[in-house]
């Protein structure tokens, strides 16, 4: 069956249907990771987005329950050059097409993803729509109708992205002696697993939890998780973080880093095409060491807006010089723009969790 990806500027890509049928709009972004397509599919940060995989063959290892980063995929569509229908891996439980179909994710394969990626790099991210009509359907929208839908992007509510992916109720995992409360803006399960591995009793609370509800969990430290969208659309979250400053050690990852920066008085801006993939070099300014990191974000902290009396930059991107980490001048507060848990990799930066644990111990002493 045929499928179409139509961009807001009227560009049309015709390919073959993959996964579920239907029509879904979203922001079209690309990710450069050569591995980890299942982690990408199930990362809640991709809610509202149509994801283009730059690596040409996707699905050759199948999918399995252990590599899920959330209970289900939240992305609005998947674009690949070629999807493997015959996975070969001892951990495989389901092929990619079957997983997408079962989870209701619309995809398209067989298009020139190199051309599409170059377009997004030169023009920036664009809104788009995937149309994959059921077999025999006679009500296929015209190109003009799909272009209009791409421009309107009716399936994306920017103001509610975090609320679409956060947990509905608090829950706990692990059984360690260090109590860490995670504010869930769209947390990856691998982050929680890393905390459990460090000996933490982890309490996960909704993004809408109040300061009182967060402190009622009696945390030794608080982690601000990754999540989707423009942090400026999540004023409620930044306000909560601002009230938590000085009460407990804080550690932010990705969106959590941006929300913490807003709470400290800094500003953010939208990147032209974002940082997404597992191969982004970052320099740790404290040591001079270069780290290969996993990233997934479309916004960055404005370095010029950071109050030097409150915080300083600890990490920068070697691709474009943007801020990749902050640390407070006097309080046990730090944040990073990249993903230290990575999953599937690289794991260069998992030591960041040790730094968070050390800050908690030092704060308690």
Domain count, the chain: 2
Domain residues for 321?
161-364
Are 90 and 236 in a shared domain?
Answer: no
Q: Is 341 a catalytic residue?
A: yes
CATH number of the domain that 46 lies in? 3.50.30.20
Are 128 and 144 in a shared domain?
Answer: yes
Are 212 and 141 in a shared domain?
Answer: no
Are 58 and 146 in a shared domain?
Answer: yes
Task: State the residue for tokens 């459990």.
Answer: 196
Q: What pLDDT does 136 receive? A: 79
Q: Is 213 a catalytic residue?
A: no
Are 104 and 194 in a shared domain?
Answer: no
Determine the Cα–Cα distance for residues 234 and 266; give it in Å rounded to an integer.
15
CATH number of the domain that 340 lies in? 3.40.50.880
Whether the CB-CB separation of 316 and 343 falls below 8 Å is answered with: no
- 97 Cβ contact list (under 8 Å, min separation 6): 18, 19, 59, 83, 85, 107
> End of a domain among 156, 191, 222?
156
Catalytic residue among 61, 131, 254, 275: 254
Whether the CB-CB separation of 128 and 120 falls below 8 Å is answered with: no
Q: How many helices (H) and strands (E) does the chain have?
A: 10, 19
Q: What pLDDT does 345 receive? A: 83
Whether the CB-CB separation of 322 and 293 falls below 8 Å is answered with: no
Task: Characterize the bridge pairing of strands 178-184 and 200-206.
Answer: parallel
Q: What pLDDT does 251 receive? A: 98
> End of a domain among 156, 175, 194?
156
Q: What pLDDT does 137 receive? A: 81
User: Nearest to residue 174, comparing CAs of 156, 188, 194?
Assistant: 194
In DSSP notation, 196-226 reads HHTTEEEEEEETT--HHHHHTT--SEEEE--
Say what the pTM is. Answer: 0.96
Q: What pLDDT does 135 receive? A: 84
> End of a domain among 90, 121, 156?
156
Token code pair at residue 114 = 């190199």
In DSSP notation, 154-184 reads TT--GGGHHHHHS-SS-EEE---SEEEEEEE
Cα distances (angstroms) measured from residue 285 to each of 170, 250, 290, 321: 36, 20, 9, 12
- Sheet hosting strand 268-284, strand order edge to edge: 171-173, 200-206, 178-184, 221-224, 250-253, 333-336, 323-328, 311-317, 268-284, 290-301
Q: What pLDDT does 32 receive? A: 95
Q: What pLDDT does 344 receive? A: 85
Are 200 and 187 in a shared domain?
Answer: yes
Are 136 and 122 in a shared domain?
Answer: yes
The sign of the dihedral angle between the CA atoms of 118, 336, 327, 311 is positive
Cα distances (angstroms) measured from residue 179 to each of 173, 190, 203, 215, 301: 11, 17, 8, 11, 29
Are 172 and 141 in a shared domain?
Answer: no
User: How many CB atoms lie under 10 A from the CB of residue 306?
Assistant: 19
Determine the Cα–Cα distance for residues 31 and 109; give it in Å rounded to an integer.
16
Are 124 and 173 in a shared domain?
Answer: no
Tens of pLDDT, residue by residue, the chain (365 residues): 999 999 999 999 999 999 999 999 999 999 999 999 999 999 999 999 999 999 999 999 999 999 999 999 999 999 999 999 999 999 999 999 999 999 999 999 999 999 999 999 999 999 999 999 998 788 889 999 999 999 999 999 999 999 999 999 999 999 989 999 999 999 999 999 999 999 999 999 999 999 999 999 999 999 999 999 999 999 999 999 999 999 999 999 999 999 999 999 999 999 999 999 999 999 999 999 999 999 999 999 999 999 999 999 999 999 999 999 999 999 999 999 999 999 888 889 999 999 999 999 999 87
Q: What pLDDT does 339 receive? A: 97
Are 120 and 242 in a shared domain?
Answer: no
Cis peptide bond prior to 346, omega within 30° of 0? yes
Are 209 and 299 in a shared domain?
Answer: yes
Q: Which helix (H) or strand (E) holds 238?
A: helix 235-244
Q: Is 175 a catalytic residue?
A: no
- 283 Cβ contact list (under 8 Å, min separation 6): 289, 290, 291, 315, 316, 318
Are 132 and 207 in a shared domain?
Answer: no
The C-alpha angle 289, 295, 248, rounded to 5 degrees, equals 80
What b/e sequence results for 39-70 when a residue is b if at least 16 CB atoms lie within 10 Å of its CB, and e otherwise? bbbbbbbbbbbbbbbbbeebbbbbbbeebbbb
């Amino acid at each position: 069956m045929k499928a179409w990806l139509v961009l807001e500027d009227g560009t049309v890509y015709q390919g073959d249907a993959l996964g579920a049928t239907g029509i879904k709009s979203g922001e079209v972004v690309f990710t450069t990771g050569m591995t980890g397509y299942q982690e990408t599919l199930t990362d809640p940060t991709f809610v509202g987005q149509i994801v283009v995989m730059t690596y040409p063959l996707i699905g050759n290892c199948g999918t399995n329950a252990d590599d899920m980063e959330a209970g289900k995929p939240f992305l609005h569509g998947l674009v690949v050059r070629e999807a493997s229908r015959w996975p070969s891996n001892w951990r495989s439980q389901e092929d990619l097409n079957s997983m997408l179909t079962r989870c209701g994710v619309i995809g398209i394969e067989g298009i020139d993803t190199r051309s599409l990626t170059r377009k997004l790099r030169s023009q920036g991210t664009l809104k788009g729509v995937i149309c994959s009509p059921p077999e025999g359907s006679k009500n296929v929208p015209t190109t003009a109708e799909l272009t209009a839908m791409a421009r309107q992007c009716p399936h994306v509510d920017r103001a509610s992205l975090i609320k679409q992916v956060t947990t509905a109720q608090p829950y706990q995992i692990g059984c360690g002696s260090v109590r860490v409360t995670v504010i869930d803006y769209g947390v990856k399960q691998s982050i929680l697993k890393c905390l459990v591995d460090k000996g933490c009793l982890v309490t996960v609370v909704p993004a809408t939890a109040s300061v009182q509800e967060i402190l009622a969990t009696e945390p030794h430290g608080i982690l601000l998780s990754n999540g989707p969208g423009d942090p400026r659309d999540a004023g409620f979250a930044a306000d909560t973080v601002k009230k938590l400053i000085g009460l407990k050690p804080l550690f932010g990852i990705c969106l959590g880093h941006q929300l913490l920066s807003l709470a400290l008085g800094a500003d953010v801006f939208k990147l032209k095409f974002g940082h997404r993939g597992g191969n982004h070099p970052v320099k740790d300014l404290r040591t001079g060491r270069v780290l290969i990191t996993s990233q997934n974000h479309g916004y960055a902290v404005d370095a010029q807006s950071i109050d030097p009396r409150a915080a300083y930059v600890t990490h920068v991107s070697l691709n474009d010089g943007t801020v990749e980490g902050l640390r407070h001048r006097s309080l046990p507060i730090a944040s990073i723009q990249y993903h230290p848990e990575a999953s599937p990799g690289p794991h260069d930066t998992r030591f960041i969790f040790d730094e968070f644990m050390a800050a908690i111990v030092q704060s308690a002493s």
